[in-house]
Structure formats: structure tokens, C-alpha cells
Structure 1
């Protein structure tokens, strides 16, 4: 291991390199390293035609321009391999306008691929992604017309269909830890989540690439226990010591909070409870599908607030929560506390969490939706002017027995809850229930073939996936089926004679019935 300066760093990364990052937002993001590479380009106009691989959404959120957008605006990037992107508007625009090659591939596949693609294995062979947008019979994960190379192939083993993912070899990995010792062992003491950095370093090492790690400080050997090593020195080539806390933040909101890295527990839930709204009604109804003892996957979007609701209802300890980044239990942050997770029972490496998910670790998943079609297919990755990518949505939705998709029936509706009823003051601008989804991120027919149980929860109605299509099973008190539900759908679902009514007590400020529901579901 060699401790390097910014000047030395600039000689290590070359044009045409494939660079892998392992971060979430600013968490684990080596912002200072990225800044020096951007400065080097500004000085020399060298360092271009890069391929950048990152399995999660990253951004510095600080207005410094040290993120994917900084590279894209300077036309330093030839190709992007991502799972999700939300916080980089210039990058999203470049992908939409075919100014850069881009792929959106399942996050779990990307994360585990680093260690799966070995000298002995051709790549990742998996069922994850079959019959969705990443299947080569659809788009193969290609995000625009500029992108031509096939990274995903359809193959068969013993007559059964699989997808073969073949990612480019990694030339340079840019990682972050908290400390390095003199030998080069990397420790993650202050990090809010544990990334897939170990496996990413393995991938570069296998390819005789370079592993460069940003740390807060270099400590003497023996400062920590051997079991605390996150990346062993054998995989670390260079260490760069951060000299500006601005470029080494634990999460967006703070440089370092020891509670976020598990060094102590908080006594009260951070932040306020969710305000009464149709959004809260959706979460309350969705939560009624929980069973005591469930291992629950919380997806990005509205479901980030599920933990908040469970605490308010006094049932937080009756189920187990998981976020695919490696977080288990505790208070899952949302809104102003997004990515701030407290009192965790476990933090696992990112790729190990996918091992847990792929091996049946989850009982039920709470996922968002952007579009749902007449077949029950779901799109989350590309809709309207949005281009987000699939994240871990495909991985999770294809590996769990029960799925609850949550979201509003229409876009932009103005609703109130009055006298235990839903009152629609102004209807929305666009329906989310369409004839055909733009992207198939969840394939309903495939889910039925695997005997998955699937619900779709909105503030006005609850649907269930059946072999004959979407079936309306409940409506909110106060709504008219024809005017408030069916008129806002591009297709007509199955409408039985015995439609249920949502619990009217959910449509008031205080509820308190979830504990009873969980008990009756057991």
C-alpha cells in the first residue's frame, strides 16, 4: 500500500479506463478523489472515454459539482452502467438524449457480479431479470439508441432459461473507508452503511487493476482488531487521506453521527410522525398485509416511511425490516432523515444482503409503482419525463413470496380525510393505471407462474393480481367506484359484487389498529 497525494492520483487513472464506485448518495463516496480527477481534467483536458460502473445512486448534494454530473458535463464519460439514478439531472438528460451509452441493470446482480465474475466463471448466470426490461428480448437494459453492446444474454441450463450478465473488467476502483492502517487494511468504523467495496476491490485485483481508497486518517497497525478489517491490505494499492471534512460526509445531513454507525442507540424516534394525508392512508392499508414476525423489505419511495408508521402504531418490534443496502431493523429514516438509520440490529455488506434476499430471506416486500397496466405489469424505471432505472426493484420482486405495490391512483390529486371518509377535492392530472406500461420492471404473468401473491394499494382502492387480471378487492369509504376509481383507469379491472370497504378508522388523525391487525394475521 502506498499513501498518495493528489498529484500522484492523477497519474493512476487513464482515459478509456473502466472505473467502479461503491457508494450510496454521499455514503462511502470518495468525493475528494473525484474532485481531484475533475480538477485534473479541467487543467489538462485529458482523462476521457471513461466507463463508470456504480450499483447505487450517488451525489454530493452539496452544490460542489463533485458527482456523476461533473463528469458528464465535461464529456469525460463514454459509458455508464447503473441500476438507479435520481440525483444527477445532467446525467439523466445525457442518457435521454443519447449523448452517452448507458445501461440500467438490477442492483443485486450488479453488486454480486463483482465477486461472481471470476477466472472460473463467465459472469453472473441468474433468473433475475427474466421477462423484464433487462431481458434481451425486451431492451437488455440498454437505456438509449446509442447503446449497442449486449451485456445481457439469454441462455439455457438443463432446459431452463437464465440470463447471463457479462460486465466489463474493472481497471480502477475508487473507494472510501474511515481509516487505513500502515499495512493498508481498511476499516469502516464511521460509515453509515457497509458497501460492496470488498468485492469491487476483488474485481479490480483480479484484472490487475488499481484499488484506491480515500480515508480520514492512517492509524498505526494494531489500532483495531483483525476482525474489524473490511478490505484487507492485499487488495489495497493506494490510500489517499482526506483533508477536508466537506468531502468525507457520513450522510448528506452530517459529517459524522456515531449513532448512524451503531456506536450508541437513540432513545426517541428521530423526526416527527408522518402528517395525516392520503399518503399515510396508503401506508396504513399496505401495513395491514403484515404478519407478526415477517422479514420485510422496504423499497425506495413512499415505503421509506413505513418504519415511521410502525413506530407510531407501536408495532415496530413485531416485524423485522430490511433495506437492500444492508440495514436490518431499527428506525429507517425518511424525508429529512432519509439514509439516517438508527438502532440497527445488524449492518451487512451490500453484496451479502443480496445473498440474504436471493436465498429466501424476505417474507414480504413493499415496493412503489409509477405505472400499472391491465395485465398487472409494473413500471418504475421510465415514465413521463422521468428516467430512474430499476435499482433493486427487479431483484426483490422476483425473489419474494408476497409483494405490496404502494402508490396513489392518479398523479396530483387533492384529497382530504373527513369524518372517516376520503374526500376528493380535485382529481389528478394523469392516471397511473394504463393499458400498457412503458417499461416492464415487474412481469405479472411471470409472477403468477411462480405463485407469488401480489397486491396494489392506493388511497382509493386495493387490487389483487389474479390469473384473470387485476381484481378490485376494496374501496375507500366515501368514494364512488365509477367516478373516482374506474374513470381514472385506462382499463377496467375485475369488479366483483362483494367488494370490501377499507377500515374507516384509517381515515382519521389517530388510528391505533395495526397491532390488532398484526395479531389477527398471525
Structure 2
């Protein structure tokens, strides 16, 4: 391991390199390294034709740091391999305009392949992604027409279909830690989550690539317990020491909060509860599917506010929420505080978290939807002018036993939630339950093969997935079936013989009944 100044990076990273990162937004993002590379390009127009691979989107959101958009806006990136892009508008526009090659592949597959690929195996072989947009019989994860190389192939083993993923070898791993000791051992002491940096470093080292880590400080050997080492120095080639805290933020909102890295517990929640409205009533109904002891996978979108509701209802100790980045239990923040997670019961490596999920560790998943067809197929990643990617949606939805999809029935609707009664003040303008969806991220064929229980919860109605198609099983009190539900859908679902009314209690300001629901014997 060598400690080098940032200026030496220009002698290490070359044009055309495959560069991989292990970060989420600003967390674990080696932003000062990225700043140095961008400044080098501005000076001599080098570092073109880069391939960037990362499991999550990186974005500073604040506009005062360096992220994917800084590279894409300069034309530095030839190819992008990721699972999700939500905070990088320039990058999304470049994908839409065919300015760069891009792939959206399942987050768990990307994350685990670093330590799952060996010389004896031709890349990951898995059922994750079958019958979805990732499957080469659909698009193979290709985002646009400029992207032509196949990174996913369909193979047959014992008369069963599998997907074989073909990822490029890594030339450069750009990582971040809190400290490095004199032997190059990396500690994640102040980081809010661990990420997949160890596996990425090991894979890059095996490929004779270079592992570069940005840290806050180099410390003396023996200062910390050796069991606290996250990446051993043997895997590290270069360490650079951060000079400006702005480029080493723990999370978007703060440079460093010790409670976020588990150094103490907070005594009360640091964000307001969700106000009564569409999001809240959807989450209230969705949460009624919980049972005591459930391990929950909380997806991005509306469901990142589920933990907020559980805390308000005083039931967060009855279940264990989980975010696939390796965050278990505790107070999982939402809204503008998303990513600020407190009082965790466990923190694991990103790739180990996917091992946990793939091996049945999650009991129920709460996921979002953008479009749903009459069969129950779901699009979450590509619709209208949106090109978000699948994230961990495909991995989770093809692994867990029970899935609750949450979202509004129609885009733009305005409803009035009076005690015990719902009414539509203004109808929406874009239906979400449509005849043909733009993209398949969840395929009912997989659900039936896995014998999954699948529900769709909206503010107006609840649907259940059946072999015959989507079945309407509940309607909100006060709404008219034809006018307020079916008229906002492009297709007519199966109507339950005994159509139930959603419990009217969830449509009032104070609820307080979730504990009883969770402690019941059945998911309702």
C-alpha cells in the first residue's frame, strides 16, 4: 500500500478503464477522487471512454460535489452498468439520447458477482431476472439502442432455464473508508453502511487491477481492534487522504453523525410523522399484512416511509425492517431524511445482505409499482420519460414469499379522507392499471412458480394476484365501484364474490390499531 497525493491518480487511471464503485448517493462515495478525475479531464481531456459499474446510483443531490453527472456531462463515460439511477438527471438524459451505452441489471446480482465469479465459473448463473426485462428474450437489461453487446445469456441446466451474467473485469476500484492504518487496513468507523467494498477490492486485486481508497486519516497500527478491519491492507494499492469534508460526507444531510454509524442510540425519532393523505392511508392498509416477527424488505419510493408509520404506531419492535444495503432494524428514516438510519440491530456488508435475502431471510417485501396489467405483471423501472432502473426490485420480488405492491390507483388524483369515508375531489390523469405495460420487472409466471402471495394496495382498493388475473378484493368506504375504481383502470379486474370494504379506521388522523393487526394470526 502506498499513500499518495490526489495528483498522482493521473498516473494510475487510464483512458478506457473499467472503474467500479461501492457507494449509495453520497454514502461511501470517494467524492474527492471523482473531483480529481474530473479536473484532470478538464485540464487535458484525458480519461475518455470509461466504463463505470456500480450497484447503486451515486449523486450528491446538493449540487456542490462530484457524481455520475459530472462525468457524463463531459462525455467521459462510454458505458454504464448499474441497477438504478434516480438522482442523476444528466445521466438519465444521456441514456435517453443514446449518448452512452447503459445496462440496468439486478442490484443483488451486480453486488454479489464480485465475490461469486471465479476462473472456474463463467460469471453468475442464476434464475434472478428470468422472464423480466433483464432476460435476453426481452431486452437483456439494455437501456437504449446504442447498447448492443449482450451481458446476459439464457442457458439450460437439467432442463431448467437460467441466466448467465457476463460482467467485465475491473481495472480500477474506487472505494472509501474512514481510516487506513500504516499497513493499509481500512476501517469503516464513521460510515453509515458497509457496502460491498471488500468483495470489490478482492475481485479487482485478483484481476491485477488497482484498488484506491479515500480516507479521512491514516492512523497508527494497533489503534483499533483488528476485528474492526473491513478491508485488509493486502488488497489495497493506494490510499488518498481527504482534505475537504465536503467531499467525504457520511450521508447527504451531514458530514458526520455518530448515531448513524451506531456509536450511540437516539431516544426519539428525528423526523415528523407522515401527514394524513394518500401515502399514509396506503401504508396503513399495506402494513396490515404484517405479522409479528416478520423481517421486512422495504423498497424505494412510497415504502421508504413504512418505518415512519411503524414507529408512529409503536410497533417497530414487533417486526424487523431491512434495507438491502445492509441496514437491519432500528429507525429507518424516510422523506428528506432517507438514508439516516438510527439504532440499528445489525449492519452487514452489502453482498452478505443479498445472501441473507436470497436464502429466505425476508418474510415479506413492500415494493412500489408504476404500471400493472390485468395479469398482474409490474413495471417499476421504465415508463413515460422515467428511466429509473430496477434496483433490487427484481432480486427481491423473485425471492420473498409474500409481496405487497403499494401505490396510488391513478396518477394525479386528489382525494378527501374524512373520518370513515373517502371521496374523490379531482380525478387523476394517468392510469397505472393498464392493458399493456412498457416494461416487465415482475412477471406473474415467476410468482406462480414460486407460489408467492401477492397483493396490490392503493388508497381506493386492494387487489390480489390469482391464476386467473388481478382480483379486486377490497374497496374504500364511500367510493363507487364503477365511477371511482373501474373508470380509472384500462381493464376490468376480477371482482371478488364477496367484495369487502377497507377498514374505515385507517382514513382518520389517529389510528393506533396496527399492533392488534400485527399480532393477529393471519395476514389481512
Q: Is TM (by shorter chain) over 0.5?
A: yes
5 Å-filtered alignment, 1:164-203, equals 164-203=164-203
The 1-side partners of 2:462 and 2:425 are apart by: 20
Report how far residue 160 of structure 1 moved. Answer: 1.1
The 2-side partners of 1:78 and 1:349 are apart by: 29
Cα deviation, 1:359-404, whole Å, max 9, x if unaligned, reads: 0101100000000011100001001110000000000000000000
Please say if 1:91 is aligned against 2:91.
yes
Q: Which moved more, 1:152-161 or 1:348-357?
A: 152-161
Cα deviation, 1:112-156, whole Å, max 9, x if unaligned, reads: 001111122211000000000000000000000000111001011
5 Å-filtered alignment, 1:401-480, equals 401-480=401-480
Instruction: Report the equivalent of 2:259.
Output: 259
The 2-side partners of 1:193 and 1:164 are apart by: 29
Instruction: Report the equivalent of 1:382.
Output: 382
Report how far residue 28 of structure 1 moved. Answer: 0.2
Contact 1:211 1:235 in 2 (8 A): yes
The 2-side partners of 1:147 and 1:42 are apart by: 27
5 Å-filtered alignment, 1:329-348, equals 329-348=329-348
Q: Which moved more, 1:439-448 or 1:208-217?
A: 439-448
The 1-side partners of 2:450 and 2:62 are apart by: 44
Moved >3 Å (runs of 4+): none
SS in 2 for 1:485: helix
Please say if 1:312 is aligned against 2:299.
no
Report how far residue 446 of structure 1 moved. Answer: 1.9
SS in 2 for 1:108: helix
5 Å-filtered alignment, 1:91-490, equals 91-490=91-490
Report how far residue 476 of structure 1 moved. Answer: 0.3
Please say if 1:69 is aligned against 2:69.
yes
Report how far residue 422 of structure 1 moved. Answer: 1.1
The 2-side partners of 1:429 and 1:385 are apart by: 16
The 2-side partners of 1:244 and 1:154 are apart by: 47
Report how far residue 500 of structure 1 moved. Answer: 0.4
Contact 1:80 1:101 in 2 (8 A): yes
The 1-side partners of 2:226 and 2:278 are apart by: 50
Number of equivalenced pairs: 522
SS in 2 for 1:273: coil
Instruction: Report the equivalent of 2:510.
Output: 510
The 2-side partners of 1:62 and 1:507 are apart by: 36
Cα deviation, 1:458-496, whole Å, max 9, x if unaligned, reads: 000000000000000000001111011100101110013
SS in 1 for 2:28: coil
The 1-side partners of 2:151 and 2:33 are apart by: 28
Cα deviation, 1:226-246, whole Å, max 9, x if unaligned, reads: 110000001000000000000
SS in 1 for 2:357: helix
Contact 2:65 2:247 in 1 (8 A): no
The 1-side partners of 2:166 and 2:453 are apart by: 32
Contact 1:278 1:416 in 2 (8 A): no
Contact 2:284 2:506 in 1 (8 A): yes
SS in 1 for 2:472: strand
SS in 1 for 2:339: coil
Contact 2:415 2:423 in 1 (8 A): yes
Instruction: Report the equivalent of 1:25.
Output: 25
Gaps of 5+ in 2: none
Contact 2:31 2:65 in 1 (8 A): no
Contact 1:290 1:521 in 2 (8 A): no
Report how far residue 65 of structure 1 moved. Answer: 5.1
The 2-side partners of 1:64 and 1:70 are apart by: 11
5 Å-filtered alignment, 1:28-67, equals 28-64=28-64, 66-67=66-67
The 2-side partners of 1:110 and 1:402 are apart by: 24
The 2-side partners of 1:7 and 1:321 are apart by: 43
Report how far residue 521 of structure 1 moved. Answer: 2.9
The 2-side partners of 1:172 and 1:160 are apart by: 36
Report how far residue 445 of structure 1 moved. Answer: 2.2
Gaps of 5+ in 1: none
Cα deviation, 1:1-47, whole Å, max 9, x if unaligned, reads: 00111221111110010000100000000000000000000000111
The 2-side partners of 1:166 and 1:445 are apart by: 25
**RMSD (Å), alpha carbons:** 0.8
Q: Give TM-score scaled by structure 1 length.
A: 0.99
Contact 2:419 2:505 in 1 (8 A): no
Cα deviation, 1:283-339, whole Å, max 9, x if unaligned, reads: 000000001101110000111111111111111100111100000000011012110
